[in-house]
Amino acid sequence: MALIRYYESVFVLKPTLSDEEINSFVEDLKKFIESNEGEIYNFEKWGRRELAYPIQKFNSGYYFSFNFKTENPELPVKLEPFYRYNENVIRFLTFKVKPPKKEEKPVESSTSEE
């Protein structure tokens, strides 16, 4: 059994993109992760936000964050060129995280007060 590694990746897209272009990039990203033996288990769209400093003459961008797990240790390495060679990505960062804690169901007490 291979070791499962967990990662988080954050990326920022150009603010000039249409919703259709953003959705297309997100779908391409999901397909890329799945085709490289990865599984996305959490995906968040943070929306358009101001950047701390101008990047490529942009003052804002569309922020996204997602968590994925994989047995393929090369996936994070392959993800960098995917971001870097896409002209719509202005910043990205991928880093290893601890496995998510499993949610425990609260135990209901069967005692009743009279």
Q: Which residue ranges form the domains of the chain, and what is each CATH number?
A: 5-97 (3.30.70.60)
Report how far residue 43's alpha carbon sits from residue 33's, in angstroms, rounded to the nearest whole number: 12
Range 67-93 average pLDDT: 94
Angle, CA of 17, 21 and 27, to the nearest 5°:
135
Q: What does pTM read for this prediction?
A: 0.83
Closest CA to 68 of 82, 79, 84: 79
- Residue 1 binned pLDDT confidence (cut-offs 50, 70, 90): low
pLDDT computed for residue 19 by the predictor? 94
